[in-house]
Amino acid sequence: MLAKRIIPCLDVDNGRVVKGVNFVQLKDAGDPVELAKFYYQEGADELVFLDITASSDNRKTMIEVVKKVAQELFIPFTVGGGIRSVQDIKGILLAGADKVAVNTAAIKTPQLISEGARMFGNQCIVVAIDAKKNRRKWEVYINGGRTPTGIGVLDWAQQVAKLGAGEILLTSMDRDGTKKGFDINLTKVISESVAIPVIASGGAGTKEDFMAVLKEGKADAALAASLFHFGEFSISEVKEYLIDNKIEVRK
């Protein structure tokens, strides 16, 4: 049976991993390659690198990071953040990433999804959707969650699936950083209305949260950042808990 995936996410600023990563085992906690290998040994099924570099001059640094990671990491990894064109997608994939995540640019130019999928295959186009609940409706936000679009999350999810996205990375902005658990309702609604895998993100705080989103939320994968970085519990602990609760994960 296909296993549910646990995916740590790393923020990279100008070639260095940021956000208080602090493991005693690591010589250099800011080195993306060292952290990637650490998470791989911990049992991560994939990795996501989010490039948060503000200046576009420094974006070339990310390509170098991707090349180095690809030489040392033998599980799939996705790169997101600031990808605006087919050229950007090509650059990241040629450097050795398996997938790219597009967000703001996909809303502005939906053809980026179809064009990217046509040129490089659906499997490497991940559409990241930042969702926030306004009254009764989930709305898509862009520009790192700063700008509302007026577009409904369900409509957008179905549209990106039709355009050829291979996966959806769905982040609940309401839950992100709260540790109150994933938004089960949101994840379930989206996962059940598209035929492509959904990666749930935002709000993980306990091992039970992972079980809830993978089981009731029908997510295909669950992503977390700070939880793993601060070592509150490890990926292998989450996986042991899931196995004990009869959820199929890779051992």
Partner 1 sequence: MITIIDYGLGNLGSVKNALDKLGINSLISKSTTDIEKADGLIFPGVGAAGEGMKNITREKLDKIIKQEVSKGKPILGICLGMQLFMSRSEEGNVNCLNIVEGLVQKFMTQLKVPQIGWNTVQIEKDAKLFVDIPQNSYFYFVHSYYCLPTNKVAIGKTTYETQFCSALQKDNIYGVQFHPEKSGSSGLQLLKNFTKIVYENNTSN
Nearer to partner 1, 58 or 71 (CB): 71
| Binder of partner 1 out of 60, 94, 144, 216 (CB under 8 A) | 94
| Binder of partner 1 out of 22, 25, 58, 71 (CB under 8 A) | 71
Q: How many whole angstroms separate alpha carbon 197 and alpha carbon 219?
A: 7
Q: Minimum Å distance from CB 25 to partner 1?
A: 19
Stretch that binds partner 1, among 18-26, 29-37, 79-87, 92-100 (CB under 8 A): 92-100
SS (H, E, C) the chain: CCCEEEEEEEEEECCEEECCCCCCCCCCCCCHHHHHHHHHHHCCCCEEEEECCCCHHHHHHHHHHHHHHHHHCCCCEEEECCCCCHHHHHHHHHHCCCEEEECHHHHHCCHHHHHHHHHHCHHHEEEEEEEEEECCEEEEEECCCCEEEEEEHHHHHHHHHHHCCCEEEEEECCCCCCCCCCCHHHHHHHHHHCCCCEEEECCCCCHHHHHHHHHCCCCCEEEECHHHHCCCCCHHHHHHHHHHCCCCECC
Nearest to 98, CA basis, from 165, 43, 163, 47? 47
| Binder of partner 1 out of 11, 167, 176, 209 (CB under 8 A) | 167
Verify whether residue 57 is a known catalytic residue.
no
Q: Does 175 bind partner 1 (CB under 8 A)?
A: no
Contacts with partner 1 in 11-70 (CB under 8 A)? 40, 45, 70
| Binder of partner 1 out of 85, 109, 114, 123 (CB under 8 A) | 123
Q: Does 74 bind partner 1 (CB under 8 A)?
A: yes
Verify whether residue 13 is a known catalytic residue.
no
Q: Minimum Å distance from CB 218 to partner 1?
A: 10
Q: Minimum Å distance from CB 197 to partner 1?
A: 5
Binding-residue total with partner 1 (CB under 8 A): 29
Of 13, 130, 176, 220, the catalytic one is: 130
Which positions touch partner 1 (CB under 8 A)? 1-5, 40, 45, 70-72, 74-76, 94, 96, 98, 121-124, 166-167, 195-197, 220-221, 250-251
Q: What is the set of active-site residues? A: 11, 130
